[in-house]
Structures are given as structure tokens and as C-alpha cells.
Chain A
């Protein structure tokens, strides 16, 4: 009988991760909420008559949360994030002006996003949602956030 079988079909798992103290957790959420409010306020100022702003807004919101939550990761370093947004944002926006179906553009955007994810090790790429205005032409940023809240 092996040692493993003597222990039974299941072993108790010990989670060695340290939990964040509640006070620190509340401070983190509060400060991040202020940051999100600033980004949303800037979006409101930039939106004007451009419905495309809605699809440009979601990736920065996600990136902000990820960077603050895991600042020690190499992918959170400022110039990597800036480089990823500069390159893949340009590609995504250029893809979006092609007169092809949104599904095809979305798949192409996803594939190029994955390529640059793995090539540069930067897990922030904003251009996947860029082709979406073709599908949701009248979407405002409030509508774009609705799926995130549900």
C-alpha cells in the first residue's frame, strides 16, 4: 500500500496564503474606487459625440485594477503597459476601420492580442474591444459597463 493510498482519497488542503487585513482591504477598495471615478469622469469629458469612446474605456478600467492589485508583476511596469497600449491599440483601431464583419475582426484582434501577450509578456492589450462599435453603434459607456455590473 502506497503512502498516498494510506492517506485516503482526499487530503486536507492547507492554504498558506496570508489574507489581507480588513482595514487594508477596505482602504484598497476605497482608493481604487476613487481611481475608477477619475477614469469615468475623464471618459465623460472625452465622450462628446464619439460613441467609440465606450469601447476604449473598458480596457483601461481593467488595467488600472490589475496594476494596483499586483504592482510587483513585470507586466504591471509602466513602460510595458504604455508600450502595449501604444502598439496594440493602434492595431486594434486600424482593424476596426476594415469593412469586414465584427466577428472576423474580433477574432483577428483576439489573435493579435494573444500574440503580443506572449511575445512581450505584457498582459494588457486594449484592442480586442475596438471592433465592437460595428455591433453596438449606439452604445454609451454606461451601457458598456452594464455587463460588468451584472
Chain B
């Protein structure tokens, strides 16, 4: 049965973090393009 093995954890986690940073960056750019310049109003 295939699935995650221990050796996959660092790579899977790294990929997930790449996705996260990409999503946040794209969201900021998208809001700028659409004219919603208030995003992010606050970072936390």
C-alpha cells in the first residue's frame, strides 16, 4: 500500500510550504491587480 513514508516527510512539507508562500504571494498580486489595495490590511 503506497502512501507517505518517513523519507517523504521533509519533501512533502517543503512542497506544502512552497504552495503556501505561492498562494499568499498570488493573493497579494491578485488583489493589487483587481484594485483591492488594502490587502493585506494586517499581516496577523
Cβ 8 A contact of B34, one of A31, A57, A97: A31
A58 to chain B, nearest CB (A): 10
B2 to chain A, nearest CB (A): 3
Main secondary structure of the interface of A (DSSP, over half): helix
A3 to B36, CA, bound (A): 44
In this complex, what residue of A is CB-closest to B27? A67
Q: Are A27 and B34 in contact (CB under 8 A)?
A: yes
Given contacts A35-B26, A52-B12, A67-B27, contact A133 B4 (CB under 8 A): yes
Q: Are A82 and B20 in contact (CB under 8 A)?
A: yes
Interface string of A75-99 (1 = CB under 8 A from B): 0111111100110011001101100
**Which residues of A (38-64) have their CB < 8 Å from a CB of B?**
38-39, 42-43, 46, 50-53, 56-57, 59-60, 63-64
Q: Are A97 and B4 in contact (CB under 8 A)?
A: yes
Cβ 8 A contact of B13, one of A64, A81, A93: A93
Report B-chain residues with C-beta under 8 Å of the C-beta of A56: 12, 15-16, 19
Q: Is A143 an interface residue (CB 8 A)?
A: no
Report A-chain residues with C-beta under 8 Å of the C-beta of B4: 52, 93, 96-97, 130, 133
Q: B residues engaging A (CB < 8 A)?
A: 1-6, 8-9, 11-13, 15-24, 26-31, 33-34, 36, 38-44
Q: A residues engaging B (CB < 8 A)?
A: 24, 27-28, 31-32, 35, 38-39, 42-43, 46, 50-53, 56-57, 59-60, 63-64, 67-68, 71-72, 74, 76-82, 85-86, 89-90, 93-94, 96-97, 126, 130-131, 133-134, 137-138
A-B contact sample (18 more), CB < 8 A, given A97-B6, A126-B16: A27-B34, A31-B33, A38-B22, A39-B26, A52-B4, A60-B16, A64-B27, A68-B34, A71-B39, A74-B42, A78-B27, A78-B40, A79-B44, A85-B19, A85-B20, A89-B17, A96-B4, A134-B2
